[in-house]
Amino acid sequence: MSQLPPPPPPAAAGNQYGAEHAAAKKAVALAARLCKKVQQDLLKLDIQTKADRTPVTVADYGSQVLVSLVLKMDLPSNSFSMVAEEDSEDLRKDEAQEMLEHITKLVNETIINDGSYSITLSKEDVLVAIDGGKSEGGPSGRHWILDPIDGTKGFIRGDQYAIGLALLDEGKVVLGAMACPNLPFKSIGDRNGGSSGDQVGVVFSATIGCGSTVETLGGSQPQKISVCSISNPVDASFFESYERKHCMRDCTSSIAEKLGIQAPPVIIDSQAKYGAIARGDGAIYWRFPHKRSKESVWDHAAGSIIITEAGGLVKDASGKDLDFSKGRYLDRDAGIIATNKYLMPLVVKAAQEAMKEEGILG
């Protein structure tokens, strides 16, 4: 698939978020180690076929603890603020003490195996680290935005999931890092997420004004990435969420028909879709949740800057930029679209027409 040439990177000295960018990549990669272990154990036990959500809950909490730890250790600050999905309320209950013990053990094992820090966390340390994500965010100051596991259903099935971390500075997302432990390093080659290469596990990252990169989860040399340069929607492929509640399929089928798109949708879980679009695996990602559903900022913050720094655009269904400054939820109109600059106006127009026909817009 043809791609836009990546913008030239500025001098390293011009990156005012260099330390934060390095810490963010380190944080999501470390969290991914814990998540991979939990997922591997989960699949061995075949728990993904049951209603028991304990393993993904353990990984969610453990991931959030490790990200919080890395950011606090590598970026000492008296004003740490993080907007994240989890809090410790349930873990403080008597019936959750066995789970808390398990999470603490997994976190400490991950820290020891990594070797970056000579520290052992107590159960109380774990609870405090989790509650570091209680911030409400907002338009002033700096706030980290974390989704410790995006794509929990994919995680349980052994499919795609992501650890997404972004930095909000004065209401604007200025950097993002996203670990996708099950995403191939080379492009996705078929609608089921197949690969043209054998390496699996990547970290996408971006800093405002510096472009987007991808590297292996093990830390290979970062490679610059860019969105595709397709201008005719007939030649485009599009990505959708696996979860039906995240996408009104009747509406998106109508949008695809209006655009003349021939290819069937590529359906995968999590913000991994943002990374795939950012490196040109496909042309469009859209998300049109069912009416009245709220969009949490952590579901889109990291992925959106990875797309925009790769030369793409991320808009709501009215063609407006996403606003991450309103707290824990996005202030947006109806849906979210990520694509290149050529296709965006065509997709927005088709989306508006389809939503009016579906009665979603007046």
Q: What is the layout of strands, in order, in the sheet containing 336-339?
A: 266-268, 238-241, 284-287, 336-339, 313-316
The SS3 assignment for 224 reads strand
CA angle 315, 350, 309 (to 5 degrees): 25
Backbone angles phi, psi at 78, to 5 degrees: -85, -5
Residue identified by tokens 């698939």 is: 1
SS in 3 state form for 128-147?
HHHHHHECCCCCCCEEEEEE
DSSP codes of every residue in 294-310:
--BGGGTHHHHHHHHTT
Whether 60 sits among the annotated catalytic residues: the reply is: yes
Tell me: is residue 169 an annotated ligand-binding position. no
The SS3 assignment for 196 reads coil
State the distance between the two ends of the chain, measured CA to CA, in whole angstroms.
Answer: 37
Q: Which residues contact 323 (CB under 8 A, 6 or more apart)?
A: 171, 330, 331, 332
Tell me: is residue 321 an annotated ligand-binding position. no
Q: Count H helices, E strands: the chain? A: 9, 12
Q: Which residues contact 310 (CB under 8 A, 6 or more apart)?
A: 6, 206, 211, 212, 225, 226, 227, 278, 279
Tell me: is residue 85 an annotated ligand-binding position. yes
Query: Rounded to whole angstroms, how far apart are CA atoms 301 and 2?
Result: 26
The SS3 assignment for 222 reads coil
Tell me: is residue 150 an annotated ligand-binding position. yes
Tell me: is residue 147 an annotated ligand-binding position. yes
Q: How many CB atoms within 10 Å of residue 342? A: 18
Query: Rounded to whole angstroms, how far apart are CA atoms 124 and 311?
Result: 44
Per annotation, catalytic residue among 60, 269, 281, 316: 60
Per annotation, catalytic residue among 110, 152, 252, 339: 152
The CA–CA distances, whole Å, from 37 to 40, 238, 342 equal 5, 31, 41
Binding residues for Mg(2+): 85, 147, 149-150, 299
Active site amino acids: 60, 152
Binding residues: 85, 147, 149-150, 299
